[in-house]
Amino acid sequence: MKKVFRIIGWTLAGIAIFVSFYFGAAWCCSRIAIPAEKGAAREVTIFIKTNGAHTDIVVPVRNEVIDWSCRLPYSNNVSPDTVYSYLGLGWGDKGFFLDMPTWDDLTLRLAFKASFWLNSTAMHATYYREMTGDGTERRIEISREQYARLVAFIQDRFTTDPDGRFINIPTTARYGLTDAFYETRGRYNLFYTCNTWTNCALAAAGQRHCLWTIFDKGMFLIYDRQRDADRP
């Protein structure tokens, strides 16, 4: 019996040490900022946007680099409206997206599967008429060449059909009238979350980003620090 209790004790201690190290490393790495590439022109406006936990990269619906409405057609949305200026793109665990409309719907099974590479993933695409300026987004100016790299990074995550089209996920799970879900590659896990993907997207575009992050707070913090530093 003593041996059983000793094993349980060491197991619990190991879990506690891992959790402490995991969150400590996540906090520290998210506060270390990797600077943006220098000398880039300010030709394309993008944003990072958060709902308080999950982040999206927000890009122009169309410009000379790409027309996203051709790859992510409006017909996949509930609303037939086609007048939009921006598109929010957020990669993440399919179970979280489709089976957890609110945090109250989170279950231990869903969290476990997401954390340990057991679920497939999806891209949540949301069209916006304008950015609201309500504090949930940060504006970033990049060059066309940097934007082309960002586009390549995003498109590489999508799964495509034999004709090269992005695969829409038929579902009644919607967050609004202008969003849809698409099949993607890769696995969500403890070390690569939806916010890690957004941070990597910023890195692909040569923008300021965290050394590593699993949460949204670090990205917004480093952009707020940069904004404050740029003020006269």
What are the tens digits of pLDDT across the range 54-95? Answer: 899 999 999 999 999 999 999 999 988 889 999 999 999 888
Which pTM was predicted? 0.89
Q: What angle do CA 149, 154, 156 make, to 5 degrees?
A: 95
Query: What does the pLDDT average to over 133-158?
Result: 96
Say if CB 92 and CB 122 are below 8 A apart. yes
Is position 11 within any domain?
no
Number of H helices, E strands in the chain: 7, 8
Is position 23 within any domain?
no
Euclidean distance between CA atoms 51 and 1, whole angstroms: 49
Euclidean distance between CA atoms 157 and 166, whole angstroms: 10
Residue 98: pLDDT over 90: no
Total domains, the chain: 1
- Give CA separation, 199 vs 116, 152, 203, in Å: 20, 15, 6
Is position 18 within any domain?
no
Is position 153 within any domain?
yes
Q: In this structure, how many other beta carbons lie within 10 angstroms of the beta carbon of residue 228?
A: 8
Write the burial class of residue 172 (CB in 10 Å: 0-12 exposed, 13-18 middle, 19+ buried). exposed
Which residue has tokens 């992510």?
A: 72
Q: CB under 8 Å to 45, separation ≥6 — which residues?
A: 60, 139, 140, 141
Q: Which residues span the domain enclosing 187?
A: 31-230
Say if CB 178 and CB 164 are below 8 A apart. no
Q: What's the Rg (C-alpha) of the chain?
A: 19
* pLDDT > 70: percent of the chain: 83
State pLDDT tens for residues 153-201.
999 999 999 999 999 999 887 788 999 999 999 988 889 999 999 999 9
Q: CB under 8 Å to 224, separation ≥6 — which residues?
A: 138
Is position 4 within any domain?
no
Is position 152 within any domain?
yes
Residue 140: pLDDT over 60: yes
Is position 10 within any domain?
no
Is position 36 within any domain?
yes
Q: Where are the strands (E) in the chain, listed by range?
A: 33-34, 44-50, 55-60, 86-93, 121-128, 137-142, 179-184, 209-210
Say if CB 202 and CB 149 are below 8 A apart. no
